[in-house]
Amino acid sequence: MDKLQWRASLLQKELFELFRLQLKKDFEVAGCDIEFTEHLPIDFDALGDIISAQIKKIERRSSSKLPELLYRIDISEQQVNRFAHEQPAELWEDLVAELIIKRVLQKVILKKTYSK
């Protein structure tokens, strides 16, 4: 799925609500703040900015929480490094935020597809 397809998927209200709930669950199970998940915008860029800000907060408060969160969401260190290598001009937090959005949305779509 390319970036335009990710953006289009997030615009679907039902998928976005499932995305929001899954994101909340993943952050909560990893022991991270979940308040930000209550009023998320249905906008890929704004969503990325919010998640990027949360990643910065997690790094400042507890460096052990971020690997736990990425593990919970199912994003490997190799994926982060490969993505960072492909887009070297991007801030690290923004890259991780984009990976989180894509992986959580992928999980939601797979669950929705195979739960029928």
Q: What distance in Å separates the CA atoms of residue 114 and residue 48, rounded to the nearest whole number?
A: 27
Q: What pTM was computed for the model? A: 0.87
Give the pLDDT band (50/70/90) at residue 25.
very high
> pLDDT value at position 69?
95
To the nearest whole percent, how much of the chain has pLDDT over 90? 56
> pLDDT value at position 116?
64
Tell me the chain's radius of gyration from C-alpha atoms: 13
Q: What distance in Å separates the CA atoms of residue 108 and residue 22, rounded to the nearest whole number?
A: 7
Query: Nearest 5 degrees, angle CA 32-CA 12-CA 54?
Result: 20
pLDDT tens column, 78-108: 998 888 888 877 788 999 999 999 999 999 9
Mean pLDDT of the 29-39 span: 93
Q: What distance in Å separates the CA atoms of residue 22 and residue 26, rounded to the nearest whole number?
A: 6
How many angstroms from the chain centroid is the CA of residue 74?
10
